């Protein structure tokens, strides 16, 4: 058995208040890890800045590694826990900004950075789109990162599953009225890929959005393992066995009976 204890944090980031947000995230890490042994904590999308920052993203974006990552890496190392969280990432060319997710390992090192591929609405005005999905090796297994509306595209999760991901970490900022879509997407992505999905969705209100939460962890057979109520700050924790992924894939022959040559329309531009 490869048992991994995972926590999803449901929080309301303060808009444009990076220092306050990372301090709160550090406090979440401390509170969770002092209560029990946890291997991985997943935070929401743009947890360090808030969502509706507009042109302020140019000032609030951080390089990876940089101040934000270094601060949270110290907390990860202090408590020997992996952290996945969303932030606005600045490149060397400072006009290039990504809506990114970072995975820090339990020694405080950056394991991987993922840049959101599926931007929607005003996100397209602030960020450049990423272009690739890749699973990453951790001390406990293969992990894939997704952000928000990436979850609506089956191809994203399938790419990660085919790349070996056993656990998908979704950092979300999904808003009302999409409460039903959020839960349907999480269940579907877990079941259709025989993977665990740990999905942390933020709460709180900004100028035009009301984020609802409903963070959850779902197993490879579509079983709900942990859930949080809407609009409530808190965290959920569950222990999973990553070997279940292999067993479910073998039993269902999910990967073996695929017919990729018949799927050409999936990658056609419309």
Residue 58 backbone dihedrals phi, psi, to 5 degrees: -60, -35
CA gap 189, 150 in Å, rounded? 11
Q: Among 110, 188, 124, 113, which residue's Cα sits nearest to residue 156?
A: 188
The residue segments making up the domain with residue 184 are: 3-267
Residues linked to residue 232 through DSSP beta bridges, in sequence order: none
> How many CB atoms within 10 Å of residue 108?
18
pLDDT for the residue 20: 98
pLDDT for the residue 93: 74
pLDDT for the residue 267: 83
Report the CATH number at residue 203: 3.60.110.10
Residue 120 backbone dihedrals phi, psi, to 5 degrees: -135, 155
Average pLDDT, the chain: 96
H or E element at residue 253: none
pLDDT for the residue 48: 98
- pLDDT above 80: residue 85: yes
Dump the DSSP string for 6-19: EEEEE--PPTT-HH
- pLDDT above 90: residue 269: no
- pLDDT above 90: residue 95: no
For residues 220 and 195, the answer to whether their CB atoms sit within 8 Å is yes
Q: Among 136, 73, 134, 135, which residue's Cα sits nearest to residue 106?
A: 73
Spell out the residues 6+ positions from residue 122 whose beta carbon is closer than 8 angstroms to its own: 52, 54
Q: Cα–chain-centroid distance for residue 37?
A: 20
Average pLDDT, integer, range 252-257:
89
> Phi-psi bin for 197: left (phi > 0), alpha (psi -120 to 50), beta?
beta
CA gap 114, 145 in Å, rounded? 6
pLDDT tens digits, one per residue of 150-171? 999 999 999 999 999 999 999 9
As for how many domains the chain has, the answer is 1
How large is the angle between the packed helices 154-162 and 179-193, nearest 10 degrees? 30
pLDDT for the residue 119: 97
DSSP 8-state symbol, 119: -
Spell out the residues 6+ positions from residue 15 whose beta carbon is closer than 8 angstroms to its own: 49, 50, 51, 52, 53, 206
pLDDT for the residue 154: 96
Q: Long-range contacts for 208-211 (Cβ within 8 Å, ≥24 apart)?
A: 208/52, 209/51, 209/52, 209/173, 209/175, 209/176, 210/175, 210/176, 211/12, 211/51, 211/173, 211/174, 211/175, 211/176
């Amino acid at each position: 058995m490869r048992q991994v204890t995972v926590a999803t944090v449901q929080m309301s980031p303060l808009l444009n208040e990076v220092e306050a947000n990372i301090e709160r995230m550090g406090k979440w890490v401390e509170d969770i890890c002092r209560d029990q042994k946890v291997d991985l904590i997943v935070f929401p999308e743009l947890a360090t800045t808030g969502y509706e920052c507009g042109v302020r993203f140019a000032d609030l974006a951080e390089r990876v590694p940089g101040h934000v990552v270094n601060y949270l890496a110290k907390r990860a190392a202090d408590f020997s826990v992996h952290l996945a969280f969303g932030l606005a990432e600045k490149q060397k060319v400072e006009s290039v900004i990504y809506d990114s997710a970072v995975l820090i390992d339990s020694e405080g090192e950056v394991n991987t950075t993922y840049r959101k591929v599926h931007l929607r609405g005003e996100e397209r005005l602030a960020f450049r789109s990423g272009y690739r999905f890749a699973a990453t090796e951790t001390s406990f297994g293969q992990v894939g990162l997704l952000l928000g509306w990436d979850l609506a595209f089956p191809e994203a999760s399938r790419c990660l599953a085919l790349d070996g991901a056993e656990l998908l970490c979704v950092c979300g900022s999904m808003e009302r009225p999409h409460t039903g879509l959020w839960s349907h997407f999480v269940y579907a992505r877990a079941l259709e890929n025989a993977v665990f999905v740990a999905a942390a969705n933020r709460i709180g209100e900004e100028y035009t959005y009301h984020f609802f939460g409903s963070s959850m962890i779902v197993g490879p057979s579509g079983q709900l393992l942990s859930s949080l109520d809407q609009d409530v700050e808190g965290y959920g924790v569950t222990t999973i066995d990553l070997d279940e992924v292999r067993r479910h894939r073998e039993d269902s022959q999910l990967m073996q009976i695929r017919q990729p040559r018949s799927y050409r329309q999936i990658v056609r531009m419309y």
